[in-house]
């Protein structure tokens, strides 16, 4: 079984990945954000580093998928499809050229075709999307405290985050690579509230059972 999480910056994907992997007795695959040398460069100069950052993420995400496919059960903290969404949004904001986007899209397609396992396993068994409001997301971003993500250090982030949030919703509605479900992170605090955590796990179990995966 492969479960993939999706959702905005600070929605809680990494935390839920850990919780879910433990609950299901499976392996968690994370994107190590604090080890990413390109991310601070990108936030300081998005126009210069958008393409490099995207190639960095594509490479890392692809490596995770390959490792994840080698095992039977696992949970991934973000889908490769969202990287493409991030890049398209950045391109629309003038941070990448049309040619860069085209090269990226073709490279992504090419890489997906090369995955060495049965085609049906390339898509996850379930996508769990974390839905969050702007205010709640900012609360999480502040609490976590990565300096380059704070709008008070860089006011252009307000527009960037709103752009991402707007487009994420449409992205989720149109996502059709696998079964999907949403968790409302404004209503359910699976990190600090054990009752909510059980509720979230029960919701996910229900979906997995319904699809015969659990």
Ligand X SMILES: Nc1ncnc2c1ncn2[C@@H]1O[C@H](COP(=O)(O)OP(=O)(O)OP(=O)(O)O)[C@@H](O)[C@H]1O
E-only strand ranges, 44-103 = 74-76
Report, in Å, the least distance between residue 164 CB and ligand X. 8
Out of 2, 21, 78, 138, the residue judged to bind ligand X by CB under 6 A: 78
Is there a binding annotation on residue 22?
no
Contact status: 9 vs ligand X (CB under 6 A)? yes
Q: Which is nearer to ligand X, 13 or 197 (CB)?
A: 13
Angle between helices 98-114 and 80-92 (to 10 degrees): 170
Q: Which is nearer to ligand X, 72 or 159 (CB)?
A: 159
- What is residue 1's DSSP assignment? -
- Verify whether residue 71 is a known catalytic residue: no
Contact status: 13 vs ligand X (CB under 6 A)? yes
CA distances to 139, 166, 210 from 9, rounded to whole Å, are: 11, 13, 29
Q: Which is nearer to ligand X, 10 or 124 (CB)?
A: 10
DSSP H or E segment with residue 60: helix 46-70
Report, in Å, the least distance between residue 133 CB and ligand X. 14
Identify residues 139-178 at the interface with ligand X (CB under 6 A).
149
Q: What is the DSSP string of 24-55?
A: HT-EEE---GGG-SHHHHHHH-HHHHHHHHHH
Residues ≥6 apart with Cβ < 8 Å to 153 = 147
Q: Which of 34, 77, 154, 196 is catalytic?
A: 77
Q: Give the residue numbers annotated as catalytic, written as ranges.
A: 77
Binding site for substrate: what residues are annotated?
A: 31, 43, 54, 78, 83, 149
Q: Enumerate binding residues for ligand X (CB under 6 A).
A: 7, 9-14, 31, 33, 39, 53-54, 57, 78, 83, 86, 149
């Amino acid at each position: 079984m492969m479960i993939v999480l999706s959702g905005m910056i600070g929605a809680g994907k990494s935390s839920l990945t850990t919780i879910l992997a433990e609950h299901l007795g499976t392996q968690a695959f994370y994107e190590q954000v604090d080890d990413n040398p390109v991310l601070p460069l990108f936030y300081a100069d998005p126009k210069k580093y958008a393409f490099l950052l995207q190639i960095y993420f594509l490479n890392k995400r692809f490596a995770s998928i390959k490792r994840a496919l080698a095992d039977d059960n696992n949970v991934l903290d973000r889908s490769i499809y969202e990287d493409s969404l991030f890049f398209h949004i950045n391109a629309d904001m003038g941070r990448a050229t049309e040619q860069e986007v085209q090269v990226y899209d073709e490279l992504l397609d090419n890489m997906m075709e090369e995955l060495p396992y049965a085609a049906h396993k390339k898509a996850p068994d379930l996508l769990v999307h974390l839905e969050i409001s702007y205010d709640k997301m900012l609360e999480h971003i502040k609490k976590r405290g990565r300096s380059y993500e704070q709008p008070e250090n860089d006011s252009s982030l307000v527009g960037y985050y709103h752009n991402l949030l707007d487009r994420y919703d449409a992205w989720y509605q149109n996502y059709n690579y696998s079964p999907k479900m949403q968790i409302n992170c404004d209503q359910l605090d699976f990190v600090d509230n054990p009752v909510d955590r059980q509720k979230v796990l029960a919701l996910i179990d229900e979906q997995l059972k319904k699809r015969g995966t659990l």
